Amino acid sequence: MTIFNAIKSSLSPYQLISNLKIEPLQTLFYNIPKDPYIREGYRYKSLARCRVQGNRIDKQPHTPLFQNKKINPVNGGLVRVYPEIENLNCAEEAILWFTNTFKIDYSYEILVQAQRTKCTYRKAGITTPEGFHRDDIDFLAILCVNQDNILGSETQLKDHQGNIVFKKVLNPGEMLLIDDSKLFHYTSPITLKNPAVNHFGFRDVLIISTAKGFVNQDPSFVKN
């Protein structure tokens, strides 16, 4: 396992980890359902919530996803219901790297999202409909699981002064860890690389995010 500190400082707001095992994660994308909140139909998503104590991952109640409009101008204000990831054990390595890196204890809820973006000859896949954005959380990780027959998908990080501090196409097995309070993130759209190989292409990522208490929860649930 290799960790690259992208900024030469112990206070780096991001880190790139390579060589994570992606084989156990493939099953998350076999029958991943289409995201009903993206009308163009290029995105697929499922999710689960958990908390971590040491190396123990405790699954939490399955609840909808909610972000306010200020954070998410595309789907903000909507209570979004997605199918649950049934088996979180396949994501254990990634989750524990995430929690150990950011010293996350049981008081933090962790949101795990499996997300596929698809493109065809006629239609690009918009990986980040919101553009550069923060998720109004504490920490975030983006793990690339698959890239197939696509161009694009460059992940970029921008600081609060507008400077691009990181840009790279994440390869399968690479996970980018981000301090959400310090950086905005974005990934460029994907387009079809070779229509002679297949009539579509796709990018699969595992997104892990966390906040103290609850993360991107429906306010009515948190009040209860």
Are 67 and 47 within 8 A, CB to CB? no
pLDDT at position 136, please?
85
- Which pLDDT tens digit goes with each residue over 205-222? 999 999 999 998 887 766
User: pLDDT, tens digit, for every residue of 179-199?
Assistant: 999 999 999 999 999 999 999
Q: Which residues of the chain have pLDDT under 50?
A: 1-10
* Average pLDDT along the chain: 91
d(CA 206, CA 90): 11
Residue ranges of domains in the chain, CATH in brackets: 2-223 (2.60.120.620)
C-alpha to C-alpha distance for 173 and 182, rounded to whole angstroms:
24
What is the pLDDT, as a whole number, of residue 78?
A: 78
Round to whole Å and give the CA distance between 90 and 88: 5
Q: What is the pLDDT of residue 130?
A: 87
pTM, whole model, 2 decimals? 0.92
